[in-house]
């Protein structure tokens, strides 16, 4: 069983989103390519903070696969500002239900994911700009 799963960084470029994670110091990364989406233009239109919130949610659900290493704690790092009660209950429910077969196959039916302290954080601001017609 691992101790700490950490979301270290999320980086966005024009057509690419990368997330860096670590589990007890071992690093993992995931990269998504969006050939027809300009992330820089979306940040200019809706604001960097709103896009960081979206990037966080993509990374947060990508991190589920690293929970197969059975971390005791998840640390969202600088992105914890996007974590609230609703997010955590949704994330936990998805982990428990979607990863149920993994728990069965690995003879660990009692592992329901890592623990986390939920810090109070302000709700991110609503998006700026208008959606395309």
User: DSSP 3-state assignment of 8?
Assistant: strand
pLDDT digits (tens, 9 = 90+) for 1-29: 789 999 999 999 999 999 999 999 899 99
Q: Give the predicted TM-score (pTM) of the model.
A: 0.83
- What value does the mean pLDDT of the chain take? 87
Strands (E) located in 47-107: 73-75
pLDDT digits (tens, 9 = 90+) for 46-78: 999 999 999 999 999 999 889 888 899 999 999
């Amino acid at each position: 069983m691992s101790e700490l799963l950490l979301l270290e960084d999320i980086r966005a470029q024009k057509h690419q989103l990368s997330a860096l994670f670590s589990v007890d110091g071992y690093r993992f990364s995931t990269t998504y390519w969006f050939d027809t989406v300009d992330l820089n233009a979306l940040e200019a239109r809706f604001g960097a903070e709103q896009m960081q919130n979206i990037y966080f949610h993509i990374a947060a659900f990508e991190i589920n696969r690293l929970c197969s290493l059975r971390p005791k704690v998840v640390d969202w790092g600088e992105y914890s500002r996007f974590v609230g009660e609703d997010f955590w209950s949704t994330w936990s429910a998805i982990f428990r239900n979607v990863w149920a077969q993994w728990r069965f196959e690995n003879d660990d039916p009692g592992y329901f994911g890592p623990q986390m302290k939920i810090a109070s954080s302000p709700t991110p601001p609503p998006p700026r700009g208008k959606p395309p017609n």
